[in-house]
Structure 1
Amino acid sequence: MSRSPWPGGDEGQDTLPFIPRQRPPAPAADDPVAQLAHRLEDSIATAVHPDEIAALIEADGMSDDRISTDYGHPDSFSLAEELYGRVGRRCPAAPAPPAQPWHTHLGSCLLRGLVFALPGLAYVLGGPLLAGPPAALGLPAGTLALLAGTVTGWVWNQSLSHRAHSWLSLADRPAAVRALRLGAPLGAALSALAALAAAGPGDLPAAAFAAGQCCYLAAATALLVLGRERALLCALLPLTLGAVPGLPPAVGPALLLISLISAVTLAVRTLRAEPAGPGPGGAVQPPLTASVPYGLFGLGAGVLVLYAALGDIFRHGSAGAVAGPSAVALTLSMGPAEWLLHRFRAQSLAGLRSTSGARGFRGSVTGTVTLCLGAYLLVLAALAETGTRLWPHAPTLTLGRLAALLLIGAVLWTGLLLQSFGAAVGAAVVCCAAAVAQTLTLVLAAPPSTALVVSGAAAALLAALACVLLGRATAHRP
């Protein structure tokens, strides 16, 4: 057998791929490890780390007892190390892989970004509902009701979306539809109640606006999970009139009601049209607890986004600035962010095929994370500058505000990257810790630079986690 391309089993020394060769004759019967290496040679030769071989052995149904009896090794990892050293690394030319679910077009992601951002115009049209005397803590009227309803809706709908997508990944679309039929109305009711509970005595119009927003979030979640972005965009088209100056005050709430009724009606019709009977038999039901980290990430990320919007609220003097240029830039950037997540997946798989060692693959992943994150931050900065120029009476985009926005954007993108690979717990812990720290800086009236330090630390930690966790070849295997 050929020796390992890394002398002494040291994964830190990369060499050129071996030239493809013909399969050697079967080894003698008195060497069971050599026989196993011969049987699994094609898979072992393309592995970039022994852990991949250990996973292959475990998938083959070998227990530790059998490994100890038949091959003289205590466990699969020890056996994998020997197999890894016996079979040479080979990278024969292979055809391009077939299209995968993460291969997507930029246009579809931009469409989703537009769908995410258009609801921001609702705050322009709902200006008459958000006017009034200042509320508690010196905030503009209706701010607490809006924040309570928005954060509750984000937490619930993030969890619901993950739950439905879990069923879709198991090819059980009826179960996903059943989850949306139950979860969407319940989430709308809970978040609307949270908004009403946080509303002050004179905030009834703002509470009604917040309740409508909660219903919209539930309907949008159902439509987006089921791939009805274009239908949702049609429901949001009346909101585009919010960009027209000089509209009579009564027109704005009427347009909001039309758009809300359209979105809810489309969601109801879509869910009714989908079959919700028994799905394919034998599917393992995803645990409810698996969706909790995604909801917590939604909580932490939502709080961080709202802190970015709070600066616009205080500068603008209106609760409608919840959808100010900072928040709109973040929501609109989610379209390019989603596309860059797909690009990372594609590039990391290309690196898995092209690199000849674990160190080279880690370097490839680190470079891809850096490029994708940098591209996202450039897009976010461009959107923030454009929004500041177009938004009525928007505050100047100072270097400090831009830095704070970009750091929050880095936290969001790296957190979503980790989530897309199943590392939701780490992303949720870091985001929630950053949200708590940001809250403490606000309560303790800490200098603005403290908030930058918190966001910067969270962004750096998430980026490091992404490079470490995704730098393992086993994280990219289907």
Structure 2
Amino acid sequence: MSGPLWLTPDDRQDTLPAIPRPRPRPSWATAADPLDELADRLHDLIAAAVHPDEIAAILESDGMNDEHIRLTYGRANSFELAEELYARVPRAYPEPDLAPGDPWHISLLPCLLRGLVFALPGLAYVLGAPFATGSTPIAVLIGSALTGWAWNQALAHRAYTWLGLGDRPSAARALLTGAPLGALLGTAVALAVAGAGEGAAVTFAAVQALYQGAATVLLVLGRERLLLAALAPMSVGAVLALVHDVPDPVRIVLLAVSPLTVLVLAAVEVLRGRRGRVRGPGGPKVLASVPYGVFGLATGVLVLHAALGDVLSGGETGAAAAPGAVALTLSMGPAEWLLHRFRSGTLAGLRAATTPKAFRLSTAWTLARCLGLYLLILAALAAAGTLLWPMAEGFDGVRAFGLLLIGTLMWTGLLLQAFGAVLAAASVCGAAALVQTLAVLGGAAQETSLAAPALAALLLTGLVCVTLGRAAAHRP
């Protein structure tokens, strides 16, 4: 039949033939572009990336090898595919699931308190100055202090690592074992360096080594306020000694009371912290803390060069440069706060930047602001110390330039250390400290001896820009 049955033959002759309904095509014939499907599936991850390399890493972690990519998407490898996905998906950094506010925000007051705690022990040298007799007592104190700085920096890293793993008892055990060993090592170095008739200097160095270990315990366990209270008697006595004559017996009592109090408080805290369940085997490796010790030793040497000038070559006594050392130690508080401000600034740049170049420029600008502000604070502290320090002889341009170089090295080194690049920071600072020491011992002029710190400061600043200019370095 050629038409519907209800039509007459005449009607059927005037009717056009029905248009056949299109047949649906099979699903395999209408498959979407696999690249579009991949972009949809990984949309949030691709949109959050600020460089194609991040997308390539995501693809590889998703199990895609180059052969699969060639067969499925027609691209040579993961990097080529990542480039196309990066260009295809609009940039949109997703807000993290965090409580409102800046995750790197930190109050300035606790940081200033830590800087004060770092600086106050230096007042012990004011009280102990009348007892520093002999031909080379300064070498005894330097040897013991440098040993303590290196050892306790490594010890603090190991304890902090345990704390980061949530194992406070193991951190307390590490401090309980490491702090006394560091004190013994510092005393042994003082004995090895000491000459005849320098028993008083060795005793002072031994007390200094005990204090360094106990103070490390309190700082790692977050007991800065207890440490500050324990240092109060010695600090008040030292300030009085600057303007009045303090009898020797009173000096000895003040020199003994504060370190003994710190020692008792540290023992109580570490014994209390040992209680609880330990994590067991598989903790941090001892060798992982070695670069932190090297960094502590290197920065200690650089600070001593700023504090003592040419004392290692037999020149000035270092009294003129003492404000520089005080400024460096006090500045560690603002330095810590500015490290957090840098991380806040890079997080904001990570959210706002739409290209890798924009993020690098944002990071460089944040670095310039934070480092510049730190150097301004350091210079202001040094200037104030020069005006207030009774024995200061002025702060010339060369010494001020050297102080700012040391400050740059310390702050950029701490920044790299905070991002896990401690080996680079330790290597550069260690080389600078070694070269400057050899230059001073060789009788080089102060201007010449600053060549190594200047080169190291430029190198570390460049490393910060290269290392931290990559978005991957700032991922949680």
TM score, norm. by length of structure 2:
0.86
Give the RMSD, CA atoms, in angstroms.
Answer: 2.5
Going from structure 1 to structure 2, the CA distance change for 1:438 and 1:453 (only over 3 Å counts) comes to same
Matched-pair contact (CA < 8 Å) for 2:436–2:450:
no
Q: Which residue of 291, 294, 298 corresponds with 2:289?
A: 291
The match for 1:197 among 192, 195, 201 is 192
Partner of 2:6: none
Q: Tell me the residue number matched to 2:127.
A: 125
Q: Which residue of 2 aligns with 1:7?
A: none
Query: Which position in structure 2 is the counterpart of 1:383?
Result: 381
Match of 1:158 in 2: 153
Separation (CA, whole Å) in 2 of partners of 1:312 and 1:440 = 12
TM-score, length basis structure 1: 0.86
Aligned to 1:3: none
SS at match of 1:110: helix
- Taking the TM superposition and a 5 Å limit, the aligned residue runs for 1:172-321 are 172-240=167-235, 241-244=237-240, 245-280=244-279, 285-311=283-309, 317=317
Do structure 1's residue 89 and structure 2's residue 96 form an aligned pair? no
Moved more, 206-215 or 79-88: 79-88
Q: Partner residue of 2:455? A: 457
Structure 1 residue 404 displacement after superposition: 0.9
Structure 1 stretch 38-47 or stretch 80-89: which is displaced more? 80-89
- The change in CA–CA distance for 1:68 and 1:302 in structure 2 (over 3 A counts) is farther
Using the TM superposition, give the Cα deviation of residue 422 of structure 1 relative to its aligned residue in structure 2, in angstroms.
0.6
Q: 1:92 to 1:268 in 2, by over 3 A?
A: closer
Q: In the superposition, relative to structure 1, how do residues 77 and 162 fare at CA in structure 2: closer, same or farther (>3 Å)?
A: farther
Q: Which moved more, 1:326-335 or 1:36-45?
A: 36-45
Q: Aligned residues: percent identity?
A: 54
Contact 2:291–2:423 (CA under 8 A) maintained in structure 1: yes
Q: Do the aligned partners of 2:105 and 2:340 also contact (CA within 8 Å) in 1?
A: yes
Tell me the amino acid that sits aligned with residue 343 of structure 2: R
What's the counterpart of residue 367 of structure 1?
365
Counterpart AA for 1:157: N
Q: Does 1:424 align with 2:422?
A: yes
Partner of 2:8 in structure 1?
Answer: none
Shift of 1:103: 2.2
1:115 aligned to 105, 117, 140, which one? 117
Q: Distance in 2 between matches of 1:311 and 1:214?
A: 23
Task: Tell me which amino acid in the other structure corresponds to 1:229.
Answer: E
Name the SS of the counterpart of 2:248 in structure 1: coil
> Which structure 2 residue ranges, 5 or more long, are not aligned?
1-29
Residue 221 of structure 1: how far off its partner (Å): 0.8
The aligned amino acid for 1:222 is: V
Match in the other structure for 1:332: 330
Deviations 1:128-180 (A, max 9, x none): 221x2433xxxxxx111111111111111111111111122222222222211
> By how many angstroms is 1:307 displaced?
1.1
CA gap of 1:58–1:181, structure 2 versus 1, over 3 A, is farther
Partner of 1:396: 394
Name which of structure 1's ranges 348-357 and 167-176 shifts more when overlaid on structure 2: 167-176
Conservation of the 8 A alpha-carbon contact between 1:123 and 1:323: no
Structure 2 CA distance for partners of 1:90 and 1:265, relative to 1, 3 Å? same
Question: Which residue, 47, 50, 58 being the options, matches 1:45?
Answer: 47
Tell me which residue corresponds to 2:340.
342
Distance 1:254 1:72, change over 3 A: farther
Q: Which amino acid aligns with 2:459?
A: L
Quote the Cα distance in structure 2 between the aligned partners of 1:63 and 1:287.
34
- Name the larger-Rg structure: 2
* 1:168 to 1:65, Cα distance in 2 relative to 1, 3 A: farther
One-letter code aligned to 2:262? A
Deviations 1:355-396 (A, max 9, x none): 111111111111111111111111111111111122221121
CA distance in 1, matches of 2:134, 2:253: 23
Hey, what does 1:134 align to over in structure 2?
135
Partner of 2:355: 357
Relative contact order (alpha carbons < 8 A, sep ≥ 6): 1 or 2 greater? Answer: 1
Q: 1:127 to 1:430 in 2, by over 3 A?
A: same
- Cα distance in 1 for partners of 2:384, 2:282 equals 47
Query: Take 1:304 and 1:292, find their aligned partners in 2: how far apart are those partners?
Result: 19
Structure 1 unaligned residues grouped into runs of 5+: 1-27, 136-141
C-alpha contact 1:121 1:239 (8 A) present in aligned 2: yes
